Structure 1
Amino acid sequence: MKLAFLASHGGSAARQIASACASGALVGVPVALASNNSRSPALLWAQESGLKWAHLSSARIPDPDVLDATILEFLVDSGADTLVLSGYMRELGPRVLGHFAGRVVNVHPSLLPRHGGRGMYGDRVHGAVLAAGDPESGATVHLVTQGIDEGPILAQSRVPVLPGDTLETLKARVQATEGDLMLQALRTLQESSTPQPAQR
């Protein structure tokens, strides 16, 4: 797996995946990271880690079609074959989605299909879980398609919603599961795309 990342802030998933690749826990090579946020700590991490990196945002490239094409060119030039969204707060364009179809993964902080869709991200999701009185929450790693949070599910983790939970305590419990869940999903994706030996 040649892994590229899109991140808006810290890029914690990208960092954990890179560590797993370095330790041999995941068979893969991180190759690139782009961010829509010029002040993203993930960009500095990518530079320090020797990854191909770029700041690609609508502020720099206002035309969404041109931005989509530019992001795709950056990713293709990096040699990436799998794209991981690491806290990326923008929708992907049709060119990127088309080129990497079936190879774009994202983690969502609820048990999809509950509490997904447009406008449901970050603290809004945890708040919605608490407001709904759900007995459990968790995280979902799914393939990214044109529909928001509608792609096939690769893996889910489940955590209880405890009496007295606040947004912060629930968020911490869900986030604690996300890194290992993403690694599990990437291994599943890798196994599903690895040619099987011919049967004799």
Structure 2
Amino acid sequence: MKRIAIFASGSGSNAEKICDYFLGRTDVEVSLILTNNPEAGVIKRSRRLHIPVVVFDRKTFYESERILQLLQNDGIDFIVLAGFMMLIPQFLVDGYPDKIVNIHPALLPKHGGKGMYGHFVHEAVVTAKDTQSGITIHFVNERYDEGNIIFQATCEVLPTDSPEDVATKVQVLEHVHYPRVVDETILKAGIE
């Protein structure tokens, strides 16, 4: 059984879609959800799904290896970032080489990097008058949004679209593609 940990900072809609996707599987399961936000909606979702949740603070995440030890002790094989807003520390990247993936709500390398998340990304897309946006699923390294790209999907951006319109279109792509791409990436990683 391959064990996934999901890191999320917000409502957890992508986390829930991933959990639903793997529900009932005998080869892969979401075993743990971690968040840095004690008010995050993902906490309620994880309880409803009966998945243990761990809440941690910034100091614990960056100044100790307690999260890495927790993941290793829990037998976590693969990490999925689903709306997680913190940069992953080097020791965690090193502990899970090519086994941490993230989803970004734009077509990287455009509109990526520090501070480019959520509505900031969609506002940038509209301001740039882009005719397309979409999602990028990528491996995580020690820099924001610079890991190797695994998958991209696009949606049309109309001249009349607001950032909220773009967000709605992008979220549809996230929910359709992220769980499947996570599954395929785990298989390709050859995790025993």
* TM-score when normalising by structure 2: 0.91
C-alpha distance in 2, partners of 1:35/1:63?
10
Secondary structure, aligned partner of 1:178: helix
Q: Tell me if the contact between 2:61 and 2:67 (Cα under 8 Å) persists in the aligned partners.
A: no
Q: CA deviation at 1:181?
A: 1.7
2:4 maps to 1:8: no
Aligned partner of 1:37 in structure 2 is 37
Aligned residues with identical type, % of pairs = 29
Q: How does 1:49-68 map to 2 (within 5 A)?
A: 49-58=49-58, 61=59, 64-66=62-64
Which ranges in structure 2 are unaligned for 5 or more consecutive residues? none
C-alpha distance in 1, partners of 2:153/2:24?
23
Which runs of structure 1 show a deviation greater than 4 angstroms over 4 or more consecutive aligned residues? none
Q: How does 1:139-150 map to 2 (within 5 A)?
A: 139-150=135-146
Secondary structure, aligned partner of 1:110: coil
For residues 33-61 of structure 1, give each alpha carbon's deviation from its aligned partner in whole angstroms, at most 9, with x where no partner exists. Answer: 11101111212332343323211012xx3
Which ranges in structure 1 are unaligned for 5 or more consecutive residues? 196-200
Secondary structure, aligned partner of 2:186: helix
Q: How does 1:1-200 map to 2 (within 5 A)?
A: 1-22=2-23, 24=25, 27-58=27-58, 61=59, 64-66=62-64, 69-194=65-190
C-alpha distance in 2, partners of 1:11/1:109?
15
Instruction: Give the letter aligned to residue 131 of structure 1.
Output: T
Q: Greater CA deviation, 10-19 or 37-46?
A: 37-46
Distance 1:169 1:193, change over 3 A: same
C-alpha distance in 2, partners of 1:54/1:31?
11
Instruction: Give the letter aligned to residue 120 of structure 2.
Output: R
Q: CA deviation at 1:159?
A: 0.3
Instruction: Give the letter aligned to residue 49 of structure 1.
Output: L
C-alpha distance in 2, partners of 1:178/1:112?
14
Q: CA deviation at 1:63?
A: 7.8
Instruction: Give the letter aligned to residue 63 of structure 2.
Output: D
Q: Tell me if the contact between 2:99 and 2:189 (Cα under 8 Å) persists in the aligned partners.
A: no
Instruction: Give the letter aligned to residue 124 of structure 1.
Output: F
C-alpha distance in 1, partners of 2:128/2:109?
14
* TM-score when normalising by structure 1: 0.88
